[in-house]
Structure 1
Amino acid sequence: MGVCGYLFLPWKCLVVVSLRLLFLVPTGVPVRSGDATFPKAMDNVTVRQGESATLRCTIDDRVTRVAWLNRSTILYAGNDKWSIDPRVIILVNTPTQYSIMIQNVDVYDEGPYTCSVQTDNHPKTSRVHLIVQDGQGFVSEDEYLEISDIKRDQSGEYECSALNDVAAPDVRKVKITVNYPPYISKAKNTGVSVGQKGILSCEASAVPTAEFQWFKEDTRLATGLDGVRVESRGHISTLTFFNVSEKDYGNYTCVATNKLGNTNASITLYGPGAVIDGVNSASRALACLWLSGTLFAHFFIKF
């Protein structure tokens, strides 16, 4: 049913038809010399979704009637509101300016808006196009950063900035986490006298964080076993002897494991006068190899 349906009185229908005939003049109607800047509206209005859009039309004292339209829909005719949308309000209606505002704009508000005026001579129109950006503020669809063969030292926070001539730059930060198997970065032999407190330390880098285990030969060590304490915090694990005895001297293996792999290091607890070369022997390496392989298989099953 058209605008002259059953809900309109005949005089109301006549007003609607008159307004549309008056204001729906095609864009580009010739303007006489001297009228080139009248009426004048903004070329484009760009706002972000959720903000308010102001549509301004500059007029002069020759104007007898004014209206704002969205396509074929009359929003305002003079001070009279025709739109049922509560977000559309009139801002200014003076002899020099006729402006409206659309509050809390959404993407469906995007499109052409027409400022139509009637002078003593003939009607004139000017058009403004409302552009609504999405809430994220990013309008580019093909901008991306590609990192090939990424290394662990390339993890961290990256920043993307999008800007145009409408508003301040919109900045987003992206955190990249690079997963990698453990590697032991620090493991040092320690010399301690009998009866003293001794600490062996093992430091490993890994993402996800590594889990640590300590062994002496093929025996796994745990807190409370033979007077030792095993403690792991973050990327460091320690094996503490509270009262070192002769039987505590020897080689210990630190194993660091996560779901991507495992690594190990041999650390020696020695007494005064012991000769330590600081390098793992071949037999130690072979023992650590089969031990860490068994541990990794057990650990991997948990994931």
Structure 2
Amino acid sequence: MSIRGYFVAFCKCIVLLSLRILLLLPAGLPVRSQGDSQSDNKVMDNITVRQGETVFLRCAQGDVVTHTAWLNRSSILYAGEDKWSVDPRVSLVTLNQEEFTIKIENVDMTDEGQYVCAVQTSSRPRTTSVHILVQVPPKIINLSRDIVVNEGANVTLMCQASGKPEPSTSWKLISSSGDLASDDEYLEIPSISRQRAGTYECTAVNDIDTDVQTVDITVNYAPTVSEGRDVGVTLGQRGVLECEADAVPEADFEWYKDDRRIFNGFDGMEIINTGSLSKLTFFNVSDGDYGNYTCVAINKLGSSNTSFLLYGDAAESRDGTSKHKRGEEEQSSHVCTGVHSTCILVQTCLLFDEAGAT
């Protein structure tokens, strides 16, 4: 440090010491009750300001003022027109025989505390003190990350927030039912089910504002396949078997005819998988295509399957009876029942014809 620097620092120490001795103002002066008639120390009402706002500190002068200063704890902010604070947010607003006002812009929590205006008049010193209270809107500072779990696992979500006044936190599941909630910074979900998957919202609230953040929970589970529907297709026509599976993560699909796996493009068949749906398409159904098919849905947690029957006009249904044959039997029975005598006559004639031939 240069000689000039030492000299400036020495002068400031002398001024600060002089102010303390002159005004009998020790560092960290406690707040006294308002209206202390035994001294010239005046206590103003607390000033409440929100973080980021600007606060004005006003001090009445009067009489013949020889020295005046604004102090924060043990630091001098302004001594008359001379700025001692190195904080660019602090500036002088007014200094005359009526008042001495400074301002602090973009107030933060570090600015909270007691401020003292010290005035030396021609008669005696006096002080005016004021306490600044800084209110801070809530801010979520510690939040669980998005998670992926298997169905049946225990889950704990955490949400911690800062602010002044101290904020309260709560959790809720964003869904149509909205039946899962907690008025705490922790949310416990034992043995989570697939119905509990979704977006969870944490809300932090105080008198100033609200902060909201979300966490996504993905629940993995094994596939469940919808029951297969039999399909009847005429020879030479187009046919489609559809297989749908509910699974997280999405299932992979495999198709089988009897015990033989079918691949895309095999014997003119096409397999298209779209999300939870798989389609097996026949573009020109032949006799060899009729039969039993199986769809298998697989993911890392398990598998599920369902069966289908592709049948045609002369193919058998699941009960093993030919649909074409059943139709002929029903028609023959209907004819013989309606004209019973005719049936007997025809049969008798056939017998005579056979005897004559013999």
Per the normalisation by structure 1, the TM-score is: 0.73
* Aligned-partner SS, 1:136: strand
Q: Are the counterparts in 2 of residues 204 and 210 from structure 1 also a CA contact under 8 Å?
A: yes
Q: Are the counterparts in 1 of residues 139 and 204 from structure 2 also a CA contact under 8 Å?
A: no
**Where does structure 1 lack aligned partners over 5 or more consecutive residues?**
279-303
User: In the TM superposition, what is the alpha-carbon distance from 1:84 to its structure 2 partner?
Assistant: 1.9
Match of 2:14 in 1: 14
Which structure has the larger Rg over C-alpha atoms?
2
Q: Which residues in structure 2 correspond to 1:143-292 (within 5 Å)?
A: 143-167=185-209, 169-185=210-226, 187-272=228-313, 274=315, 276-277=317-318
Q: Which whole-Å CA distance do the structure 1 matches of 2:192 and 2:273 have between them?
A: 29
Q: Which whole-Å CA distance do the structure 2 matches of 1:223 and 1:98 have between them?
A: 84
Residues 149-207 of structure 1 show CA distances to partners (whole Å, capped at 9, x for unaligned) of 2221221222222111122x211122221111111135322111111111111111111
Corresponding residue to 1:40 among 37, 41, 44: 44
User: In the TM superposition, what is the alpha-carbon distance from 1:56 to its structure 2 partner?
Assistant: 3.6
Amino acid at match of 2:90: I
Q: 1:101 to 1:38 in 2, by over 3 A?
A: same
Match of 1:112 in 2: 113
RMSD: 3.5
Match of 2:130 in 1: 126
Q: 1:263 to 1:274 in 2, by over 3 A?
A: same
Q: Are the counterparts in 1 of residues 138 and 208 from structure 2 also a CA contact under 8 Å?
A: no
Instruction: Identify the structure with bigger relative contact order (alpha carbons < 8 Å, sequence gap 6+).
Output: 1
Alignment: residue pair count: 266
* Aligned-partner SS, 1:146: strand
Answering whether residue 83 of structure 2 is matched by residue 81 of structure 1, we say yes
Residues 12-48 of structure 1 show CA distances to partners (whole Å, capped at 9, x for unaligned) of 4322323455465612346445x9995535355453x
Match of 1:290 in 2: none
* Aligned-partner SS, 1:153: helix
Residues 27-78 of structure 1 show CA distances to partners (whole Å, capped at 9, x for unaligned) of 2346445x9995535355453xxxx243343443549534141x32233345
Q: 1:77 to 1:204 in 2, by over 3 A?
A: farther
Q: Which whole-Å CA distance do the structure 2 matches of 1:39 and 1:172 have between them?
A: 42
* Aligned-partner SS, 1:179: strand
User: In the TM superposition, what is the alpha-carbon distance from 1:229 to its structure 2 partner?
Assistant: 0.7
User: In the TM superposition, what is the alpha-carbon distance from 1:117 to its structure 2 partner?
Assistant: 3.8
Q: Which whole-Å CA distance do the structure 1 matches of 2:286 and 2:53 have between them?
A: 81
Q: Which whole-Å CA distance do the structure 2 matches of 1:250 and 1:78 have between them?
A: 102
User: In the TM superposition, what is the alpha-carbon distance from 1:226 to its structure 2 partner?
Assistant: 0.7
Q: Are the counterparts in 1 of residues 269 and 280 from structure 2 also a CA contact under 8 Å?
A: yes
Q: 1:90 to 1:17 in 2, by over 3 A?
A: same
* Aligned-partner SS, 2:15: helix
Q: Which whole-Å CA distance do the structure 2 matches of 1:11 and 1:206 have between them?
A: 78
Percent of residue pairs bearing the same amino acid type: 39
User: In the TM superposition, what is the alpha-carbon distance from 1:217 to its structure 2 partner?
Assistant: 2.1
Match of 2:146 in 1: none
Q: Which whole-Å CA distance do the structure 1 matches of 2:80 and 2:207 have between them?
A: 32
Match of 2:103 in 1: 100
Match of 1:72 in 2: 74
Q: Are the counterparts in 2 of residues 198 and 242 from structure 1 also a CA contact under 8 Å?
A: yes
User: In the TM superposition, what is the alpha-carbon distance from 1:91 to its structure 2 partner?
Assistant: 6.8
Q: Are the counterparts in 2 of residues 117 and 124 from structure 1 also a CA contact under 8 Å?
A: yes
